Amino acid sequence: NNELTSIPEAIGRLQKLYRLDADGNKLSTLPDGVGKLQKLTHLHIYDNQLTELPQTVCSLSNLEVLAVHNNTLSTLPPGVEKLQKLTKLFIFENQLTKLPPGVCSLSNLEVLEANNNNLSALPPGVEKLQKMKILRIHANQLTEVPPGVCSLSNLEVLLVGPNPIRRLPDDVTRLTRLKTLSVPGCQFDEFPRQVL
């Protein structure tokens, strides 16, 4: 928590760096040099003023945690599917209107927190995220929970409300490991009988 407004391009020379915490600053951009930090496993750049991420972030092949929440991102860079070791993606409290399809190719993803954005849908292929345990998609503009969510057999936490959702998929009962289902502020015609 400083007043940093930039990170020097030379950060890419720190080849042994495995964790970069630059949260709580006033960063509006990240240098492309961040993509040279090939040992990086944790990138925490939340609580800043970022409007975009450099595409080079997607070349961080050892990245396990990407925390970019509470910025002003309107999109994620193309190539996010290259982050195959990613287990946690925190992108809540941004201005995202959609997620790239590549997010659904992150086969090791266990936590996706995409709440408090402007998402109207999730990308196709969400059922491929078989290691997913926590999915927070509340406070968006979603009108449905994609049926593919019901195939996430390891899901323990599902937060979907508030959203203008009128019903839950019938197959929500397949989520046998689900411990928390939060649906406040949804626009159900009737309370979902399948969860009773």
User: Tell me: the pLDDT tens digits for 36-45?
Assistant: 999 999 999 9
Q: What is the pLDDT of residue 193?
A: 75
Cα–Cα distance, 19 to 80 (Å, whole number): 19
- The continuous run of DSSP H or E covering 66 comes out as strand 65-67
Q: What is the pLDDT of residue 190?
A: 78
To the nearest whole percent, how much of the chain has pLDDT over 70?
A: 99
Q: Which residues contact 86 (CB under 8 A, 6 or more apart)?
A: 63, 64, 65, 66, 106, 108, 109
State yes or no: pLDDT of 1 exceeds 90: no
User: Tell me: the pLDDT tens digits for 158-195?
Assistant: 999 999 999 899 899 999 999 999 999 999 887 777 77
Q: What is the pLDDT of residue 2?
A: 79
